[in-house]
Structure 1
């Protein structure tokens, strides 16, 4: 994550909020660790709040107001700063993605969001809520496609995904759109922008079989985090022991999945099957 000195307060309301926290903390003569002790959190988390890369929980906002004698400033503005174009349970993880040095995802059933084509994403959003207004569906679609911009840079973040074979077999949006989706993944892999492994159905039991969508994010200047998601809920985990366990399971899954070259060949083959299914 970027150090505090690189923070641009004009970048977002959250960045401005973080800049104000740093200004008031320094004015009080406190280090990040000192403030953390007073408000019952780590100094590292205070640093992440100041950098605008983590969201301030309402209860913590109240404790910071008391510690810094800010007359309720942070608690009053906490709700506005926490607004996001993403679902509440996913917002923190989405905001961290652009700062990640590496992202390692496991997906048991869906193509990861940052790899989704417009047609695929639209089908997922519509299936999730068939009766939603078109304007809301388009807003959700725009937010999802915007996340793909993190892959526009040549090297950062490094993106590694393990997809269960079910992901590439399921014709989301129809056979032809699914073929386009798989070819999009193949193009990103061939450009050496992402690493993809497929976990074959024939593998049977595997190290991540109890997990839903799982994302492990590392950062240049902060501890790694894990995001896990199931229907209508998600959790961002930063406990070092939990992160270590998820990382170990992910490494084991890498070992039993197909190698990247074989995975890419399978993805291309299944894309062909989808593309020609209607003509057989």
Structure 2
């Protein structure tokens, strides 16, 4: 593990200190920015902006760099100091992100939005902006969300099953071009051998997951955990009996949904309704 550098008077400002450490670690490893892109999945531009001090990146990116350089948790600690607000790093969410990265199977049900793993940059940007993010913080989180796609890409990627409520597909983005891009990406994703999409159409009645989005993670040791999201909070569920109850509920909702082939046709029909060009 690389030795930690001493904080000097020259580099006491947390943001500058963080950028210096990133540059030093990459130089010591002999990596190029393009190499980081190939290995970790985020763009070379993302890493370049972080090293240049123009961006702090996201916790997901920083955790990946910590693992790559063998410095865990030094970089994340420096990043939290640079951001100046550690309250957002809920331990449960941080643990969930670690588990997601190593999952061997994933299942998702979304109440109001596509799963983050299948969101385009345009969709993520509007969704995060609606939550109050703006400027650099917004772009950091967009990069982080799009970067999470690497979980489902490449050899050995885990199987992922997603049930998307019709409400998600009816609540379009303001920009029709970006919305078309999101629908096209869902169709493209449905063609991947490890991704299965179901649409839950209107008219199927009420069910126990009406107000809850949930992601299940099958872990290498064989157990399954769940992460539930409500309007104002999220919760990592690891208790076996609770996870099993949630999974039975999920299976019941899946039984109400369209088949993968029917779901793909449903999204294609919606695509036909979207203008190809923005209105003037």
- Bin the TM-score by the shorter chain: 0.5 to 0.7
The SS at the match of 2:245 is helix
**Partners of 1:222 and 1:83 in 2: CA distance:** 33
Deviation at residue 201 of structure 1 after TM alignment: 1.0
Superposition RMSD on alpha carbons, in Å?
3.0
- Residue 77 of structure 2 corresponds to 80
Provide structure 2 residue ranges, at least 5 long, that are not aligned to the other structure: 3-62, 64-73
Equivalent residue number for residue 140 of structure 1: 141
Structure 2 distance, partners of 1:164, 1:125, is 20
Q: Which residue of 2 aligns with 1:97?
A: 100
> Is the partner of 1:274 in helix, strand or coil?
coil
Partner of 2:270: 270
Q: 1:275 to 1:93 in 2, by over 3 A?
A: farther
What is the TM-score when the length of structure 1 is the normalising length? 0.65
Q: Indicate the residue corresponding to 1:38 in structure 2.
A: none
Q: Using the TM superposition, give the Cα deviation of residue 232 of structure 1 relative to its aligned residue in structure 2, in angstroms.
A: 4.2
Contact 1:179 / 1:272 at 8 angstroms: preserved in 2?
no
1:123 aligns with 2:126: yes
1:113 maps to which residue?
A: 116
Change in Cα spacing, 1:207 to 1:100, as seen in structure 2 (3 Å) is same
Q: Deviations over 1:69-92 (max 9, x none)?
A: xxxxxxxx9x93995999534322
Contact preservation (8 Å) 1:119, 1:173: no
| Total equivalences in the alignment | 204
Give the Å deviation of 1:248: 0.3
Is the CA contact 2:211–2:230 (under 8 Å) kept in the aligned structure 1?
Answer: no
- Structure 2-normalised TM-score? 0.65
- Counterpart CA distance in 2 for 1:232 and 1:140 is 19
Q: Equivalent residue for 2:261?
A: 261
Aligned equivalents of 2:78, 2:219: Cα separation in 1: 23
Secondary structure of 1:228's counterpart equals strand
- Give the deviation of 1:246 after TM superposition: 0.5
Residue 193 (structure 1) aligns with: 194
Which residue does the alignment assign to 1:230? Answer: 230
d(CA) in 2 for partners of 1:206, 1:248: 12
Check whether the contact 2:117–2:146 (CA below 8 A) recurs between aligned residues.
yes
